[in-house]
Every structure is written in structure tokens, then in C-alpha cells.
Amino acid sequence: MKLLVVMSIDEHSPEIRRLLREHGVIVFSETDIRGYTFPGEEDAGDRGNWFAHTDPAVYSHLFFSVVEAGRARTAMEAVAAYSRDRGLLNPIHAFLVNVEQFI
């Protein structure tokens, strides 16, 4: 069993739901999240927004499901293809985690 986790900006949520359903992930949970980006050292010289701590949040969704390993890999491939084929400015992120025990 695998824990499948998918994160995307809000506008891609309907497509993520469709991809999960089409690839056999028919039971999943979803929650709204807010993402933030803080300037790194490479941005230290950019003083365009000196109120950097007030950067607006990015509204996103987090999807997760415990599924059979093969189904999880198929869903991961579909998510990767969707993101790659559309050249998304905000790509979809996904990862798998091994599940030791499931009740």
C-alpha cells in the first residue's frame, strides 16, 4: 500500500479529481491549503517589495489517499504527464510514501 499525495493550485483541482478517478483512485480526501513563497538568498538583492512578509498566499489543494502500489504509480504517471504536457507555470506536485500497516 502507498500513501499518494498530490498538491496543486486551486485551478487544477477539477483535473486532479478527474485524473484520480480515471486511474482507479476512487476514495480520497481533499483539503484546502495556503502556500507561501519566501525569497531565498538568490533574491536578496531584489528590493522591489520590501514588505516581503506580506506576500499573498497561493490557494491550493492537497489530495491524499491510501491505495494499492500499482494504482498509485499509475496515478503518479498521469499527474506527471498532465503537468508536463501543459507546461504549467505552477506544476502539480505529487509523492508516494510507503504504508507499513493499514487497518
pTM listed for this prediction: 0.78
The string of DSSP letters for the chain reads -EEEEEEEEGGGHHHHHHHHHHTT--S-EEEEEEE-----GGGTT--S-S-GGGPPPEEEEEEEEEE-HHHHHHHHHHHHHHHHHTT-SS--EEEEEE-S---
Q: Where are the domains of the chain?
A: 2-36+52-98
The 10s digit of each residue's pLDDT in 17-53 is 999 999 999 999 999 998 777 666 455 445 444 444 5
Residue 52 is predicted with a pLDDT of: 47
Model confidence band, residue 7 (pLDDT cutoffs 50, 70, 90): very high
Each residue's pLDDT tens digit, 75-88: 999 999 998 888 87
CATH of 2-36+52-98, one of 3.90.1150.10, 3.30.1330.200, 3.90.950.10, 3.30.70.120: 3.30.70.120
